[in-house]
Amino acid sequence: MEATMNAMSDTPEPDLPGWIFRQAVEQSALAISITDDRAHILYANPAFHRVTGYGTEEVLHSNESILSYKVTPRLVYDTMWARLQRQQAWNGRLVNRRKDGSRYLAELTITPVLNDQGETTHYLGMHRDVTEVHRLERQVQNQKTIIESVVDAAPVAIVLLDGDDRVILDNHEYKKLLGDMGTEPAARLLRVIRERMGASFERARQEARDIPGQEIRWETPAGESRWLNCSGTWFEEQDASADAFYEPQPRRFLLLVIQEITTYKQQEEAIRTYALRALLGERERVASVREALSGALFQLEGPVNQLAAALTMMERKPVTEETAPLLSTLDSALRSSREAIETLRACIPNETLEPEQPVDLNALLADVLRIVTPELLAAGIIVEWQPSVDLPKTQGRPHELASLFRQLLANAIQAIVESRGRRREIRLVSQLRDDCVEVLVEDSGPGIPEEWQLKVFQPFFTTKGAEQQHLGMGLTLAQDVVARHGGVMEVDPDYRDGARIRVQLPLPARGVP
Ligand code: FAD
């Protein structure tokens, strides 16, 4: 055996006695058999007996096909023999039958044994029972199939990313999202999440802390707004490579679960718009009562002051029998007028001051636009809304600011409607200036003549006819709101295509989120 096995090799004869080779084969845990060139068994070791149930003597001169269960496809044997014919070793799995009829899966290696002339004289067969290994492999495979089917059938998009943000696994919904978005959704969403979380993203990764649901908005190529809620879970897997066998090297993966929440957001938006509309309606009602009473007071104070002046003049003169009753009447008229004025002043409803808070002007302007949409549609006005993408939050009172912009838009709509011009456009712009955020409300109406550009902010100034019963307090109140926020509002004197109102609100001190 020693000489045969070394026939094709250039390695020197090992300095070992022949019995060691025999004992090594005898004591091997692998089932080893040696056959002639027609696969008739000439030798089988004790492990062969343990695996197959056939005693060594029993199988002598039998063909190896004694182990064949006949379910192994013909092609497998043909491939095997073709390789052996080319004097190449063959390795594969066969379904074998033991002596007692039970089956097992054999992992078999057959090596041709050549003589000095290079002819195949024998075959060396080595096999082991891998039924259990196969069962476990198949179980893992089945579980993988089940998990993939469940993940695929999930109504949310699921994607698994490796440490380099490469997609390892995704489901049907994720593929649909990919089709809608055009670019890899995970990369896009992760970019937003990383920006939002800053340094805490890396900390969450290292500590394997979950990423809480993030609501992310994206615009489809068709210009629609869609909302996604994206949450993440980190988990570790041990590196399966040989290098990591004794030194486990954990690999971190991120499982992103992405849920479409557009309908929910639209409903939420509709509820918010409805509530804001009601609130602004109430504020406007209060403002108009204040406006009417202030107007009435303004109108009343003039004659009363004249009365007071007349009385003072009369009081300076000596009192006669004739003037005494007149003085008394005037005095009581003045007193009752003043009381009436005070009663009227007391009737002016108080403005409710909201607490200041960080305000997302873009969101607020979008809400206001939604509120005036019916008026815009009725007037056939096209709105060009240009929000700045990097607008920081301002500090302010959101409802006051909403009523300010609502007023400016209402003015713009009215100017366009009254001008009956062919261009019916409003442009609303938000932008970041050096030390403030700026909102421009432009309309294609007749514009505000230069001599009125300051007057329009004065109380009771109106460009509308008296028949419209308008007290001209809208821009005054709007101006008050801007002033209370530490900002400025002006009519752009250089704008020629209509009117452009510029509102600048200061940026908050650092530290406001
Ligand atoms: P066939 O494949 O049709 O072959 C009929 C006979 O001719 C068999 O005796 C076969 O051995 C022989 N034969 C076929 N083609 C050639 C060829 N090109 N050159 C020489 N002889 C050929 N099979 C198993 O199912 N389980 C085993 O564990 C197993 N162990 C083997 C171990 C060794 C070392 C060798 C050499 C073969 C082994 N075989 C084994 C293959 C086995 O010999 C049969 O080829 C196989 O079982 C198919 O059986 P069959 O009755 O369909 O015979």
Q: Whose CA is nearest to atom 5 of ligand 1?
A: 65
Burial-class residue 407 by CB neighbours within 10 Å (0-12, 13-18, 19+): buried
Give CA–CA dist 179/185, Å, rounded: 9
C-alpha of residue 284 to centroid of ligand 1, in Å: 97
Q: Whose CA is nearest to atom 25 of ligand 1?
A: 68
C-alpha of residue 2 to centroid of ligand 1, in Å: 25
**Model's pTM, two decimal places?**
0.58
Percent of the chain at pLDDT above 90?
55
Give CA–CA dist 52/54, Å, rounded: 5
114-157 per-position pLDDT tens digit: 999 999 999 999 999 999 999 999 999 999 999 889 989 999 99
Q: Whose CA is nearest to atom 21 of ligand 1?
A: 38
Give CA–CA dist 329/127, Å, rounded: 129
Note the pLDDT of residue 461. 62
Average pLDDT, the chain: 88
Asked if pLDDT for residue 5 goes beyond 50, the answer is no
Note the pLDDT of residue 468. 46
| Tokens 């838009």, located at residue | 409
Asked if pLDDT for residue 16 goes beyond 60, the answer is yes
Q: Whose CA is nearest to atom 39 of ligand 1?
A: 64
Average the pLDDT over 154-175 and give the result.
93
CB contact at 8 A, 109 and 123? no
CB contact at 8 A, 376 and 383? yes
Note the pLDDT of residue 246. 87
Note the pLDDT of residue 511. 45
Which ligand 1 atom is at minimum distance from the Cα of 35?
Answer: 34
252-302 per-position pLDDT tens digit: 899 999 999 999 988 988 898 889 889 888 887 887 888 788 888 888 898
C-alpha of residue 80 to centroid of ligand 1, in Å: 9
Note the pLDDT of residue 472. 54
Edge-to-edge strand order for the sheet containing 167-170?
A: 167-170, 157-161, 250-260, 225-238, 211-219
Give CA–CA dist 226/468, Å, rounded: 43
Token pair belonging to 476? 């005054």
Asked if pLDDT for residue 456 goes beyond 90, the answer is no
pLDDT class of 469 with cuts at 50, 70, 90: very low
Q: Whose CA is nearest to atom 35 of ligand 1?
A: 39
pLDDT class of 390 with cuts at 50, 70, 90: confident
Average the pLDDT over 215-236 and give the result.
87
Q: Whose CA is nearest to atom 28 of ligand 1?
A: 67
C-alpha of residue 116 to centroid of ligand 1, in Å: 24
Q: Rg of the Cα trace of the chain?
A: 46
Asked if pLDDT for residue 483 goes beyond 80, the answer is yes
Q: Whose CA is nearest to atom 49 of ligand 1?
A: 65
Q: Whose CA is nearest to atom 29 of ligand 1?
A: 64
Asked if pLDDT for residue 222 goes beyond 80, the answer is no
Q: Which residues contact 340 (CB under 8 A, 6 or more apart)?
A: 300
Least confident of 11-15, 181-185, 198-202, 279-283: 11-15
Coil vs helix vs strand at 512: coil
Note the pLDDT of residue 463. 61
Binding pocket residue ranges, ligand 1, CB within 6 Å: 33, 35, 38-39, 63-65, 67-68, 72, 77, 81, 85, 94, 96, 106, 108, 110, 123, 125, 127
332-363 per-position pLDDT tens digit: 999 999 998 998 889 888 877 789 999 999 99
Token pair belonging to 67? 């182990």
Which ligand 1 atom is at minimum distance from the Cα of 110?
Answer: 34
187-206 per-position pLDDT tens digit: 999 999 998 888 999 999 88
C-alpha of residue 81 to centroid of ligand 1, in Å: 8
For a mutational test of ligand 1's pocket, the pick from 68, 76, 124, 130, i.e. the residue with the most ligand atoms closer than 8 A to its C-beta, is 68
Pairing mode, strands 41-44 and 357-359:
unpaired
CB contact at 8 A, 362 and 388? yes
17-29 per-position pLDDT tens digit: 889 999 999 999 9
Average the pLDDT over 2-8 and give the result.
44
Which ligand 1 atom is at minimum distance from the Cα of 106?
Answer: 28
pLDDT class of 10 with cuts at 50, 70, 90: low
C-alpha of residue 64 to centroid of ligand 1, in Å: 6
CA 152 to chain centre: 20
Average the pLDDT over 379-392 and give the result.
89
48-94 per-position pLDDT tens digit: 999 999 998 999 999 999 999 988 899 999 999 999 999 999 999 99
For a mutational test of ligand 1's pocket, the pick from 51, 59, 77, 122, i.e. the residue with the most ligand atoms closer than 8 A to its C-beta, is 77
